[in-house]
A and B are shown apart, each in its own frame.
Chain A
Amino acid sequence: MSDKKDTPPLSIYSSRDELNDERGGLRLDSPADQELRNLFQRWNAPLTPASLDSRIITTYRQQILSQENRQE
């Protein structure tokens, strides 16, 4: 499993108004809100493990194969 961390898709909002308007009218413009938002950016999730890719592809092939067998 990789130790590398990704960067979550936190966009840099060009203005507080943009955040408030586009995300449904939440007022998040106090200094404490900004501080909180900055802290949230510190927590990155790990990269999706390669083991998931191989599990999914195996499952997909089995699923399609069993569908084909049922149809025959």
Chain B
Amino acid sequence: MTDERLLERASRGDEAAFLTLYEQYRDVVFRFAYRLLGSQELAEDVAHECFLSLLKQPRRFDPARASLKTYLLAATRNLAMKHFRGVRGLDALEDLAEEPSVPERRGPLHQLLDEELSEEVRRAIDGLPPLQREALLLFEYEELALSEIATVVGADVGTVKARLHRARQRLKRQLAPYFKSNAEEAVVDEVLK
């Protein structure tokens, strides 16, 4: 059964149809919200609001324009943006004035700790301006095509490409100390000391 049909049935009170849809998309919605907002509590609120808006206005989803996944990601993105506007102000969306400093170089042996590396990656991505961050998250973690990302964020493909490029350049500079090749050199340096 198509998502459109499931949604139609769900909006008429078919709980099983709703649960089928919800179970299919809850993880992608929650995961994207979490990575955008950096908080499980906020992500849960945004995911809840996202599905609630779908229930209240199911006809806003137009399968001719986008898949339900793309529609839900766009709704999640818009809800998260409301949060950013409230917290950081509109000017912060495209660019941050200062690039976050390169994380302090820790000893190479510490780099072997997965949790620490995970935290550095999270911190670096979290430091991106929101419009770059959302493009990167949708491309790298949700595996959307550029055209789908453009639909979600309401920009053209060229703009999305530019945001992705800027995000990746910034992350390459910031995370270079953790690249495997650099880490191996650092281990050698440490052993030779």
* Interface residues in chain A, defined as those with a beta carbon under 8 Å from any beta carbon in chain B: 1, 6, 8-11, 22-26, 28, 31-33, 35-40, 42-49, 51-53, 55-57, 59-61, 63-64, 67-68
- Are A26 and B31 neighbours in the complex by a CB distance under 8 Å? no
A10-B35 Cα distance, complex, nearest whole Å: 15
Nearest B residue to A67 by beta-carbon distance? B13
CB <8 Å contact, A56 and B51: yes
- How many contacts between A and B, using CB within 8 angstroms? 110
Q: Is the interface of A mostly helix, strand, loop or mixed?
A: helix
- With a cutoff of 8 Å between Cβ atoms, the chain B residues found around residue A51 in the complex are 44
Q: How many residues of B contact A (CB 8 A)?
A: 46
Pick the contact of A9: B15, B19, B142 (CB < 8 A). Answer: B142
Other than A24-B157, A39-B175, A43-B35, give 8 A-B pairs with Cβ distance below 8 A.
A28-B168, A32-B179, A33-B168, A45-B141, A52-B44, A53-B22, A57-B15, A59-B48
Given contacts A26-B164, A52-B47, contact A39 B146 (CB under 8 A): no
Contacts of A33 in B (CB 8 A): 168
- In the complex, the answer to whether A23 meets B15 with C-beta atoms within 8 Å is no
Q: In B78-134, which residues have CB < 8 Å from any A CB?
A: 114, 117-118, 121-122, 125
Q: With a 10 A CB-CB cut-off, give which of B125, B140, B171 has the most chain A CB atoms.
A: B140
Please measure, in the bound complex, the distance between the C-alpha atom of A39 and the C-alpha atom of B114, giving whole angstroms. 10
The 13 listed contacts between A and B (C-beta, < 8 Å) are A9-B141, A28-B168, A32-B176, A35-B180, A37-B140, A39-B178, A40-B140, A45-B141, A46-B34, A49-B30, A52-B26, A52-B44, A63-B56
> A residues within 8 A CB of B171?
36
Nearest CB in chain A: distance from B139 CB, A: 7
**Chain B residues closer than 8 Å to A45, beta-carbon distance:** 30-31, 34-35, 141
